[in-house]
Structure 1
Amino acid sequence: MKKTTSIEVNDLRTAIEVVQAMPKQYHETNVEIDPKDDLAGVYRYIGAGGTVMRPTQVGPAVMFNNIKGYPSSRILVGLIASRERVATMLGAPVKELSKFMGKAVKNTIDPVMVDQSKALCQEIVYKATDPDFDLRKILPAPTNTPQDAGPFFCEGLVLGSDPETGHTDVTIHRLCVQSKYEISIFFALGRHIDIFRQKAEQAGKPLPVTINMGLDPAITIGSCFEAPTTPFGFDELKVAGGLRGKPIELVNAVTINQKSIARAEIVIEAEILPNVRVREDQNTNTGYAMPEFPGYTGPANPSLPLMKVKAITMRKNAIMQTLVGPGEEHVNLAGIPTEASIFNTIDAGIPGFLQNVYAHPSGGGKFLAILQVKKRSQADQGRERQAALMALGVYSELKQVILVDEDVDPFDTDDVLWAMTTRYQGDISTIFIPGVRCHQLDPSQDPAFDPKILGHGISTKTIFDCTVPYHLKSSFVRAQFKEVDPTPYMPEWMKNK
């Protein structure tokens, strides 16, 4: 796979080096910031983007070096909140990320174990058996808004194993700090680690897990693939190995029978307790959880599994990494693997037809996909809708698909809306598929919105066919301009393009 940087990325710090070399993509500040509400409130304006309430924008990653109440901590936000940064850190062309990720899924590399003496994540160890242990004083978990149920670890990769088979899974979940050694965990429907937890609970046993924070972005993004691309029993860490062309290093945890990601900045070792549930907002009574990717602050869950922390390990001068829930960072974490899954499936079924896929930020990387297709003959007429059905089938949380032709840039919303305006007729170009399971965090997918909806999280999926019928393509040719190099006329402007 083509390299676009000479820096070998193998952890968060080398990834930051890559971004530091990019113009206007990284910023550090020594001004004191409160992790309670203020940090997210500031970054909302600077670089959150996504479905965050306007005004917002896609801006640089920011390192806050002076955290109120935590003199030895620093927090990084927004590293993955830009496709350009993601592409550069992965060594991929920015508009080819879905294909690049798709190749990694086909060429996975298993992780390897390293000795604890070589594990950077265990340079410093805090054990819960210490009478002064309090995770709330060790780690500056932020709150995104004053309504949050409590402090959350927003970019913690949970690693757990099937208690019956030993298969390992990694996923990002909603983690709320509940006490000095307790964290609640929210599982969306069907998550593999929740299945592991249920198996352990049925046996009356806790499920040992590690929460890994501050990682090589290849690990974080690679973990966000979902079934059927990564079916039950598939270890997503193998995808990160495929992206890097070498195995991800794991190490045995210090206090539990589980593995940690050896080059993580911070690792929390914990056990999900059997038959214990907790109200998510028990400490604040706000009624809300935190801002989620659709752009709304979701309700606090009344009954969540609880994990008991056994230890915290970290690198020296560790970096806490976080994200703003509805921001562009979530869009890329969820969306780029979504694009890769869709591309691989459609290209295998209809080779050469699909040109590109974009999981649009307005859908949080999950709900809206724009498919760019190329009808090569009359025989391809109708395949565009088949491709849309395949996309809906391969990614169950996808709600809407917009189809455009090869002359429309799927990454340019104005161009997509132009296609919808001039190549779309609502009564014949819209396909509705009602009563399909989607995602529980979309508030419109509920009987309260429409009594015809049979349950929360069930949706009418929609295909918007904004492609030209093949036999009319000659009547829909865009104005063709002469190709002229503008560089001599605006050299400085072109240098930044």
Structure 2
Amino acid sequence: MLGEIVESFEDTVVIEKPVKKELEITRYLLKYRDRPVLFRDVDGWVVAGNVWSTRERIAGYLGTERDNLPHFIAEAMENPEPWKTVERAPFTKNSTGDFSLRELPIPKYYPKDGGQYFTSAMVIARDEKGFVNTSFHRIMVTDEKTGTIRLVPRHLYAMWNARAERGEELDVRIIVGSPVHLLLAGATSVPYGVSELEIASAMSRMAFGKPLEVFNMNGIPVPVETEFVFEAKILPELDREGPFVDITGTYDHIREQPVVVFERMYHVDEPVFHALLPGGYEHYMLMGLPKEPQIYRSVKQVVPRVHGVRLTEGGAMWLHAIVSITKQHDGDGKNAILAAFAGHPSLKHVVVVDEDVNIYDDREVEWAIATRFQADRDLVVVPNARGSSLDPSSEKSLTTKWGIDATKPLDRKEEFERASV
């Protein structure tokens, strides 16, 4: 389970002294941005953060290589596998309706946050035709057993809206402390009807040789490797949600969002609460990594030889990307830029480089720009394009996208070769 995983990492920082869930926990997570942090006492609970804050740690746990992560995720997205239903789950050992969200180790991360926030929570719902959706949703605690849940207009929103229009509630399971393959699957963008649990099951088979195991909770499958599970309902009513620090590290504004009522809590023996720092490296990884296969697939449709895609930490692994290709024709670099924007519509800036540039080394990428790029011929600018609502510099989600073609001209390649011994 999560506690054993965190303690198995050699670079884990263990905080033995009591730590407050309001703001104090954030200071540690910011201090050790790329190291797992295990808090032994947050209001009497054990809490872990920054667990999956590096590509190398995620890849190592899944039994693959850093550079292969986009392909690993892509394979699971393209070959979803049925999950396996089992008769028991460790989290059913502890069940109660007598709990208060206020007393749980749900942090208030930043001073202007609207309140305590679930940030690593995933919501599992089943529609009337049997389709199961699993997705990340932040939830702001508003009372002992209520919160407001941010629903972007995607799959869970469609499920909720269909019920809300009839004045009905949507029955859901809210889970915290999930394995990384489920977290990555929950952040993928797939068509309605493709279950993220099946993508997680494919990753589980690839990494561990077995499908994802789930426990049936009144018709809704819940992964057995989960620390906390809440039976809940999303109501037709709306309430204020926010402010909240999102992936860019800036405050998102207040919205009217659906109310969620928590009815019952389940947890494993000695549970570990997963605190996902908004705007932290772990947030970057879990949200950004599943987008890299989309960019890769889109670019590969126009340039046959694509060597790698990286959403950069400097761009919050959401707004900036680097793509490595082998050009076959003049103009391939610019086509790759446009395809990257199509593959991840929130993308604002992309640099395309040759295969001899290490996309994971920012200095090498900057070197390529310095030596292979001229703005008057290699810059692509797309004004007034639909971008990300998370970009505070955009206006009504409209942004100017720009790409840098830092690849060598085909007719002068020798002039751009780096000296080596």
Q: Does structure 1 retain, via aligned residues, the 8 Å contact 2:6–2:38? A: no
1:289-316 residue CA offsets vs partner (Å, 9 max, x unmatched): 2221112122232x11101111111101
Task: Indicate conservation of the 8 Å contact 1:176/1:183, yes or no.
Answer: yes
After TM superposition, give the deviation of residue 434 of structure 1 in Å: 2.2
How does 1:310-321 map onto structure 2 within 5 Å? Answer: 310-321=263-274
1:136 matched to 2:102? The reply is yes
For residue 252 of structure 1, report the CA deviation from its aligned partner.
2.6
Match of 1:61 among 36, 43, 56: 36
Larger strand proportion of the pair:
2
The equivalent of 2:165 in structure 1 is 202
**1:104-150, Cα deviation, whole Å (9 max, x unpaired):** 222321222222xx1112111112xx4xx32222x210011121110
Aligned length: 417
Q: Decide which of 357, 372, 384 is 2:309's aligned counterpart.
A: 357
Give runs of ≥4 in structure 1 deviating > 4 Å: none
Structure-2 residue corresponding to 1:40: 26
Query: Is 2:96 the partner of 1:96?
Result: no
State the alpha-carbon separation in 2 of the partners of residues 75 and 240 from structure 1. 24
Q: Does the CA contact (< 8 Å) of 2:337 and 2:352 recur in 1?
A: yes
Pairing partner for 1:234 from 189, 194, 212: 194
2:150 is aligned to 186
Q: Judge conservation of contact 2:6–2:36 (CA < 8 Å) in 1.
A: no
- Work out whether 1:175 is the aligned partner of 2:139: yes
Letter in 1 for 2:269: K
Looking at structure 2, the residues matched to 109 and 467 of structure 1 have their Cα atoms a distance apart, in angstroms, of: 39
SS in 2 for 1:260: strand
Per the alignment, residue 279 of structure 2 pairs with 326
Query: What amino acid does structure 2 have at the position aligned with 1:267?
Result: V
1:71-129 CA-partner distances (Å, limit 9, x unpaired): 2x1100001111111111111111221122222222321222222xx1112111112xx
* Amino acid in structure 2 at the alignment position of 1:407: D
Identical-pair percentage:
27
Contact 1:338 1:395 in 2 (8 A): yes
SS of aligned partner of 1:460: strand
* Preserved contact between residue 47 and residue 273 of structure 2 (Cα < 8 Å): yes
Q: Structure 1: state its 5+ residue gaps.
A: 1-10, 48-57, 281-287, 447-455, 482-497
Matched-pair contact (CA < 8 Å) for 2:6–2:48: no
- Name structure 2 gaps, 5 residues minimum: none
1:160 to 125, 136, 151: 125
TM-score norm. by structure 2 comes to: 0.95
Q: 1:87 aligns with which of 59, 62, 77?
A: 59
Aligned to 1:121: 91
Partners of 1:123 and 1:470 lie apart in 2 by 64
* Other-structure match for 1:279: 240
**For 1:101, what is the secondary structure of its paired residue?**
helix
* Contact 2:323–2:351 (CA under 8 A) maintained in structure 1: yes
Determine whether 1:346 maps to 2:299.
Answer: yes
Partners of 2:411 and 2:118 lie apart in 1 by: 54
CA distance in structure 2 between the aligned counterparts of 1:15 and 1:111, rounded to whole angstroms? 22
Q: Distance in 1 between matches of 2:216 and 2:142?
A: 26
The equivalent position to 1:145 in structure 2, one of 105, 110, 116, is 110
Residue 339 of structure 2 is matched in structure 1 by 390
For 1:53-73, what per-residue CA distance to the aligned partner results, in whole angstroms no more than 9, with x for missing partners?
A: xxxxx3x20110011xx32x1
TM-score by length of 1: 0.81
Distance 2:219 2:239 in 1: 25
- 1:405-420 equivalences in 2 (<5 Å): 405-420=354-369
Q: Give SS of 2:265's match.
A: strand
> Which residue in the other structure is 1:452 paired with?
none
> Secondary structure at 1:66's aligned position in 2?
strand
Quick one: which amino acid aligns to residue 171 of structure 1? S
Contact 1:102 1:343 (C-alpha < 8 Å) held by counterparts: no
Correspondence for 1:369: 321
Q: Is this contact kept in 2: 1:208–1:257, CA < 8 A?
A: no
**Structure 1 residue 348 displacement after superposition:** 5.1
CA drift at 1:392: 1.5
Q: d(CA) in 2 for partners of 1:444 and 1:162?
A: 37
CA contact (8 A) 2:238 2:259 kept: yes
Residue 260 (structure 1) aligns with: 222
Cα 1:393–1:360 shift into 2, 3 Å: same
C-alpha displacement of 1:345 = 3.5
Q: 2:108·2:116 contact (CA, 8 Å) conserved in 1?
A: yes
SS in 2 for 1:155: coil
Query: Partner letter of residue 56 of structure 2?
Result: E
Whole-angstrom distance in 2 between the partners of 1:477 and 1:366: 31
Shift in alpha-carbon separation, 1:293–1:271, aligned structure 2, 3 A: same
Paired residue secondary structure (1:179): coil
Task: Tell me the alpha carbon deviations over residues 337-384 of structure 1, each in whole angstroms, 9 at most, x when there is no partner.
Answer: 111222234335543x11111010122222111001112x4xx22122
CA contact (8 A) 1:12 1:216 kept: yes
Q: Is the contact made by 1:278 and 1:306 (CA closer than 8 Å) also made in structure 2?
A: yes
